Structure 1
Amino acid sequence: MSNNLNFYIDGAWVAPAVPKSIDVINPATEEPCAQISLGSAKDVDRAVAAAKAAFATYSRTTREERVALLEAILAAYKKRYDDIAKAISMEMGAPVTLATKAQAATGIGHLNQMIKVLKSFEFEEMRGTTLLAKEPIGVCGFITPWNWPINQITAKVAPALAAGCTMVLKPSEIAPLNAILFAEVMHDAGVPKGVFNLVNGDGPTVGQAIASHPDVDMVSFTGSTRAGVLVAKAAADTVKRVHQELGGKSANIVLPDADLDKAVGRSVVSMMGNSGQSCNAPTRMFVQAAQHDRAVAIAKAAAEKLKVGDPTSPETGLGPVVSETQYNKIQRLIEAGIAEGATLVTGGPGRPDGLNRGYYVRPTVFANVRNDMTIAREEIFGPVLSILPYETEAQAIAMANDTPYGLSAYVQSGSIENARRVAAQMRAGNVHLNGAPMDTSAPFGGYKQSGNGREFGEFGLDEFLELKAVLGVQAA
């Protein structure tokens, strides 16, 4: 029996307080693939009450008990791995290969990493006669996005469980099916009642209720900067901790000593992966003016090799973008790039040839982009690359940092010393050198309007802990 129309509260699947359902749309077909219920403030109240009651006992569990619980969740997750990958592919359009090898795999990555961290994490430290103790912050509210859905769920749930917190999750209503499967995983793993709760719904209703709830001690949000501002404002009245991972417009500086073919080619593939729907995608490529035309030719060839099509095909490289709203936004921004004078190298408005249905976007490359153009300022969240020429390294760094965002940055160089020197000047929370992949043990988060706080590994665990000083533990 499907749990899609129910919520997971206090260890059981329950009906919403007020029945209200919406369709989940398959972006490849533009047709409904499932229905879910939209929750209300009453459902949030019930879930938070369950989490608050469970906190009294779960917060007192031992390190060994929490490790065992995370190991049980990992084992249960592996049993549902294929189901989770298929759900992600269907509901948000990720090619099945990407959904299987990357999207669903992030869940295992975060669980494994947190088990490792928890086994050796220091929750207590003596300084003189004072004990410094790290304790669970309390009831946590999680609001997660649709673009890397299970990644963001496990990046929050795993450290919260490791810390001893209880929680209420609101996944994106656009791609909620993987979260429902994850709740089933949590149930099958024997997570104690009330520790993990799931309420589906939209941001203005369920998200707002979670962020403003007086019994939620912390809210962790991943999504757009615009929505993040609303979450922070809703949370302000109760002075709860707010953790945010928000938008990005990541710069990718290709230094003159880089292997241009390799640097540009891999950057195009990286940027357009997941149909460009990654907050840390390297969307602004800075190339020295003398190398601009050659870099453009390399980028054009790389983009035109990407196979766009049916996400169920193992040969597909790019699937559709997630929704009609997202498709229309991307089309508007492509048109803006053309209107403002950027050189359209490949791609452009409309669907790729032969695809007349589904929210497919043509892999698009713009050249001769200025840093004041709309396509260089706004987060497009689609397979649209801007190439910007620069004269000097200092100019490239200045333009790269001239953005309200600061989530990630990228540097390509034939010399690791040169790459590190430039990386030190980038105002971003993550800097990838020469195509370095994600590291689940490294802190993930941004500067400026890309958010606050960090996720992944021990840094993510710290976000869910309060620091207490107990003075006079030892006799004077």
Structure 2
Amino acid sequence: MIEVVNPTTEEVVGTVRAGTPGGVDETVTRAVAAFPEWSATSLDSRVALVRAVADALEARTEEFAATMTAEMGTPITFASRVQVPNPVGIARGVADAVAAGFFDESEIGNSLVLREPIGVVAAITPWNFPLQQMVAKVVPALAAGNVVVLKPSELAPLTADLLASVLSDVGVPPGVFSLVHGTGPVVGEALAGHPLVDMVSFTGSTRAGRRVSALAAETVKRVALELGGKSANVVLDDADLTRAVKIGVGNAYMNNGQACSAWTRLLVPASRHDEALEIAVAAAAKYEPGDPSLPSTRLGPAVTAAQRDRVVGHIERGIAEGAKLALGGTSRPLDRGFHVTPTVFGSVRPEMAIAQEEIFGPVLSVMPYEDEDDAVRIANSTIYGLGGAVFSADPARALSVAKRLRTGQVDINGAAFNTSAPFGGYRQSGNGREFGPHGLSEFTELKSIQR
């Protein structure tokens, strides 16, 4: 059995049964048997099912939000306003894309070109945005006519149980969707290397993504990876500095700093570095660690004691490398729970570990740059390329800089998140895209029929 620990109370709040390689094989075999009938269902029926999933998720917002807060510590307000609504929007975006003709056939010369499902999809998902990442894989895969075996993170399995109940309630047939709990080295590796799995869609660390790719390569299966990030918030010299920094701090600390696309590097003109640091410290100080089940709490705990210790280790390294510790540090802010003190570093150089490595906690690095070209160079100086931001009083200038950033998403002047636009990364942030029609395409094969 796998025990689920509440990171705020450090108490066990649930258990799930851990899967085995033998259980994975049986589940995949059932999925293979279910594929022919499911892939032959009409698009209209699949669209109706996806819309039913979205409606059911929305109706159970409070239950899903409370479950995620209990098992991984996301603040309840963030859970109810983001952690559930985003998946609802993702599901509806998939339904809209299919209904709008995503699967319509086309012609190129004497060839009829059509999209078909891949087959058995293994979805391996993380703990930080558990419902969002499960929906982003399971829903488009099912809508495309695939069958799915889901392995959620063992740190957030209770949310997966709720999703499984929703899928069952709306009529997803047995074998078309299956849930297998377990750890990555046991269940995850068994799925990634299984010869009857046709595709693996994985979200997690870059290290684990490399392992998934290696295992999947043995059978040349399709692999989609959404991995780590070290996103830069580029504040240009004509921007409203106060607004840009405050929004940037909020993004860096969202979900307790545990977001792969968080803007953890704040790039500001060197001449305004001290001013920006002062604004960042004042904004970050308002993120007081507390009980995430309270609506007023903005910063909950790290998901585990080990994750807390990793974040503290990064803070220690930042201090050792000579970054200016402007707020926070290594002390425990509360006696109970895996909390980290919100931390802001100033005068961070691009070569420092805190500017290069994904920390996954409430730690912000303020970095000075000399000019626009220098800002772009620093922003592109990591192995990652997932998210980013540009702030400027000139929208055309902001767009020009955004196009120069080697990253999968860029927000200009705090623009809203779009659950139908392609989400994914460059370089070691992964490959493939999720959400909307581009996410759907990951779960399809293209066929040409010459006539």
- Band of TM-score, shorter chain: over 0.9
Cα distance in 2 for residues equivalent to 1:256 and 1:453: 34
Which amino acid letter does the alignment assign opposite residue 277 of structure 2? V
Cα distance in 2 for residues equivalent to 1:270 and 1:171: 25
Q: Which residue of 2 aligns with 1:111?
A: 91
Out of 46, 61, 71, the position equivalent to 1:81 is: 61
* Residue-by-residue CA offset, 1:378-422 (whole Å, 9 max, x unaligned): 100000000111111111111110110001111111111110111
TM-score normalised to structure 2 length: 0.98
Q: Is 1:55 the equivalent of 2:55?
A: no
Q: Is 1:470 the equivalent of 2:449?
A: yes
Secondary structure at the aligned position of 2:285 is classed as: helix
Q: Is 1:438 the equivalent of 2:417?
A: yes
Q: Which residue of 1 aligns with 2:397?
A: 418
Question: How much identity, in percent, do the aligned residues show?
Answer: 52
Shift of residue 129 of structure 1? 2.2
Q: Which residue of 2 aligns with 1:6?
A: none
Work out whether residues 67 and 162 of structure 1, in 8 Å CA contact, stay in contact via their aligned partners in 2: yes
Secondary structure at the aligned position of 1:126 is classed as: strand
Q: Which residue of 1 aligns with 2:308?
A: 327
Out of 228, 231, 235, the position equivalent to 1:247 is: 228
Cα distance in 1 for residues equivalent to 2:377 and 2:56: 48
Q: Which residue of 2 aligns with 1:162?
A: 143
* Residue-by-residue CA offset, 1:203-226 (whole Å, 9 max, x unaligned): 000000000001100000000000
Q: Which residue of 1 aligns with 2:371?
A: 392
Q: Is 1:205 the equivalent of 2:189?
A: no
Out of 369, 372, 379, the position equivalent to 2:358 is: 379
Shift of residue 76 of structure 1? 2.8
Work out whether residues 259 and 360 of structure 2, in 8 Å CA contact, stay in contact via their aligned partners in 1: yes
Work out whether residues 57 and 84 of structure 2, in 8 Å CA contact, stay in contact via their aligned partners in 1: no
Which amino acid letter does the alignment assign opposite residue 426 of structure 1? L
Shift of residue 75 of structure 1? 3.1
Cα distance in 1 for residues equivalent to 2:310 and 2:256: 14
Work out whether residues 137 and 218 of structure 1, in 8 Å CA contact, stay in contact via their aligned partners in 2: yes
Cα distance in 1 for residues equivalent to 2:265 and 2:143: 37
Cα distance in 1 for residues equivalent to 2:378 and 2:86: 32
Q: Is 1:305 the equivalent of 2:286?
A: yes
Kindly tell me the number of residue pairs found equivalent between the two proteins: 450
Cα distance in 2 for residues equivalent to 1:294 and 1:73: 48
Cα distance in 2 for residues equivalent to 1:365 and 1:236: 41
Out of 121, 133, 138, the position equivalent to 2:101 is: 121
Shift of residue 170 of structure 1? 0.2
Shift of residue 281 of structure 1? 0.3
Task: Return 5+ residue gaps in structure 1 as ranges.
Answer: 1-20
Work out whether residues 133 and 203 of structure 2, in 8 Å CA contact, stay in contact via their aligned partners in 1: yes
Secondary structure at the aligned position of 2:447 is classed as: strand
Cα distance in 2 for residues equivalent to 1:76 and 1:274: 24
Shift of residue 161 of structure 1? 1.2
Which amino acid letter does the alignment assign opposite residue 231 of structure 2? S
Which amino acid letter does the alignment assign opposite residue 397 of structure 2? N
Out of 338, 343, 361, the position equivalent to 1:364 is: 343
Give the ranges of 4+ consecutive aligned residues of structure 1 lying more than 3 Å apart after TM superposition: none
Task: Return 5+ residue gaps in structure 2 as ranges.
Answer: none
Q: Is 1:227 the equivalent of 2:179?
A: no
Which amino acid letter does the alignment assign opposite residue 383 of structure 2? P
Shift of residue 120 of structure 1? 1.2
Out of 234, 239, 245, the position equivalent to 1:258 is: 239
Cα distance in 2 for residues equivalent to 1:313 and 1:432: 30
Work out whether residues 84 and 178 of structure 1, in 8 Å CA contact, stay in contact via their aligned partners in 2: yes
Work out whether residues 58 and 85 of structure 2, in 8 Å CA contact, stay in contact via their aligned partners in 1: no
Work out whether residues 80 and 185 of structure 1, in 8 Å CA contact, stay in contact via their aligned partners in 2: no
Aligned positions of 1:273-288 closer than 5 A: 273-288=254-269
Which amino acid letter does the alignment assign opposite residue 15 of structure 2? Q
Cα distance in 1 for residues equivalent to 2:271 and 2:180: 54
Cα distance in 2 for residues equivalent to 1:187 and 1:425: 45
* Residue-by-residue CA offset, 1:243-279 (whole Å, 9 max, x unaligned): 0000000011110000001001111011101111000
Which amino acid letter does the alignment assign opposite residue 356 of structure 2? R
Cα distance in 2 for residues equivalent to 1:208 and 1:96: 33
**CA RMSD of superposed structures (Å):** 0.9
Secondary structure at the aligned position of 1:430 is classed as: coil
TM-score normalised to structure 1 length: 0.93
Q: Which residue of 1 aligns with 2:323?
A: 342
Q: Which residue of 1 aligns with 2:124?
A: 143
Work out whether residues 121 and 458 of structure 1, in 8 Å CA contact, stay in contact via their aligned partners in 2: no
* Residue-by-residue CA offset, 1:17-47 (whole Å, 9 max, x unaligned): xxxx021110001111111111111111111
Shift of residue 307 of structure 1? 2.9
